[in-house]
Chains A and B, each alone.
Chain A
Amino acid sequence: MPVDKVVQSFAQAVEDVPNGAVIMMDGFGGAGGMPQQLILALRDQGARELTIISNTGGLVGFGVIAGQPSVTHGILIESGQVKRVIASFPVSRSPSQPNPFELAYNRGEVDVEVVPQGTLAERIRAGGAGIAAFYTLTGVGTDAAEAKETRTIDGRDYLMEYALTADYAFIRASKADHRGNLVYRGTSRNFNQLMAAAARLTIAEVDEIVEPGRLDPEAVITPGVYVNRLVKR
């Protein structure tokens, strides 16, 4: 991996994404944590049969300031590039206002695995940390327990959940240095920090890239070891 991770364009950053890739993206679902330029570049690049691991299925207007344009991975679903979504909040709150994911799901074009949000976060964390699986109390006695190993530990029932990894993670951070150390802003850290570690190739979309030494090491949330490519907005 080159020491300097800066790539000159979003198109260049996503050019090697193959058909069938598994990609993590989306922060929490709002405009703040969404790698919007990477998503646009991937739509233009055209890779298909993608699996998207994200908190949402691409919500319309969620965490978006009125009147400001906002892109989600919903555009990849609309362009027919996605075959499967793993998410905790795939559809809109109201069935009467379906998002692009739900429309595609109802047409039978895209498959979904709905995962409790904390389990999704922990599966991604585990994937980045070399933990193959873990036991959680979330989902015991519900449909989420279907076909899963359960174990009673100290008198309480737990479900076994497997780690999640991906081929790529598209990350949205606030600031980076050239070595790939990342700083986030507010609630936009969310899944981004976890996903950065859980993919074989992590691409970060940032507002500002500074020289090493200009980020406070105490403030770095994602150390550069997890990051392969950086693109400035």
Chain B
Amino acid sequence: MNKPRLDREVIAMRVANELADGDYVNLGIGMPTLVSQFVPEGRTVIYHSESGVLNYGPLEAEGKADVDLINAGGQFLLPVPGMAFFNAAEAFAMIRGGYIDVSVLGAFQVSERGDLANWMLRDRGTGNIGGAMDLAAGAKRMIVAMEHTDTQGGPKIVRQCSFPLTGRGCVSLIVTDVAVIEVTPSGLLLKEVAPGWTAEDVQEITEPTLRIDAGLREIAL
């Protein structure tokens, strides 16, 4: 499929649309971090990081880096009014305790039942679980933001994950560079496609069979 795909910023923008005013949100490392730049005006989202901070501000402007104020990706944050610090056990008590409304993570693979694999590439021998398994187990809603296919062009949305799992049945919504797909009890529901893409185009690079939403439309930003 050689049609133009959405870039990372646009994927992040689409994910940001899912966040509601007042949501407590945890953004994973990489593309999910971009989401905070695109939250629609008028909505206040409160960010949580495993590094032990709630309600942090934007990434630091040049020259204001503080080694005692980082997110889970090790990026420097700016302080904002209303910020709170806590230890790692409490950071994860919030996650497992069900206080995080939305978790946004990247993925190697997502299965048609919403299983997530995002911590270990098999041939690496080891990997980083970080906070992903706790978020998979405890976040109220998990959105995966990722490219639709891997670097070899193979599908990342699969019938069954071949990489080690992060969690089972934990993904609610998949936002890729070509589609928005909801995970439902009866399988994957294609809701939106990138400009110029058809449902058939998306199906061609997706392993499990997609159901097509009656209101299928172009990705709305």
* Residues of chain A at the chain B interface (Cβ within 8 Å): 28-33, 55, 59, 61-65, 88-91, 93, 95, 102, 105-106, 112, 114-122, 124-125, 136-144, 174, 184-194, 221
Q: Do A90 and B126 touch (CB < 8 A)?
A: yes
CA distance A61 to B70 in the complex (A): 13
Which among A91, A116, A136 is the interface contact of B126 at CB below 8 angstroms?
A91
Contact A190-B29, Cβ < 8 Å, known A29-B74, A93-B128, A116-B129:
no
In this complex, the member of A122, A185, A187 whose beta carbon has the largest number of chain B beta carbons within 10 angstroms is: A187
Residues of A within 8 A of B68 (CB): 32-33, 174, 185-188
B64-96: CB near A (< 8 Å → 1, else 0) gives: 011111101010100000000111110111011
Q: Do A187 and B137 touch (CB < 8 A)?
A: no
Residues of B within 8 A of A120 (CB): 88
CA distance A192 to B92 in the complex (A): 15
Residues of A within 8 A of B136 (CB): 138
Which among A28, A117, A174, A193 is the interface contact of B129 at CB below 8 angstroms?
A117
Which among A112, A116, A174, A185 is the interface contact of B133 at CB below 8 angstroms?
A116
- State whether the Cβ of B127 lies closer than 8 Å to any Cβ in chain A: yes
- State whether the Cβ of B121 lies closer than 8 Å to any Cβ in chain A: yes
Residues of B within 8 A of A189 (CB): 52, 85-87
Main DSSP-derived SS at the A contact region = loop
* Residues of chain B at the chain A interface (Cβ within 8 Å): 29-30, 49-53, 65-70, 72, 74, 76, 85-89, 91-93, 95-96, 121, 124-134, 136-138, 164-168
Which among A61, A65, A139, A221 is the interface contact of B137 at CB below 8 angstroms?
A139
Residues of B within 8 A of A138 (CB): 96, 133-134, 136-138
CA distance A231 to B168 in the complex (A): 46
Which among B69, B87, B121, B126 is the interface contact of A193 at CB below 8 angstroms?
B87
Q: Do A28 and B51 touch (CB < 8 A)?
A: yes
Q: Do A187 and B134 touch (CB < 8 A)?
A: no
Residues of A within 8 A of B53 (CB): 186-187
Residue of B nearest to A126 (CB): B89
A-B CB contact pairs (8 Å), 13 listed = A29-B74, A63-B76, A65-B65, A121-B89, A122-B92, A138-B96, A138-B137, A143-B164, A144-B133, A174-B68, A186-B85, A187-B53, A189-B87
Residue of A nearest to B67 (CB): A32
Residues of A within 8 A of B74 (CB): 29-30, 59, 61-64
Residues of A within 8 A of B132 (CB): 116
CA distance A102 to B127 in the complex (A): 10
Q: Separation in Å of the A161 CB from the closest CB of chain B?
A: 12
Q: Do B129 and A63 touch (CB < 8 A)?
A: no
In this complex, the member of A137, A184, A189 whose beta carbon has the largest number of chain B beta carbons within 10 angstroms is: A189
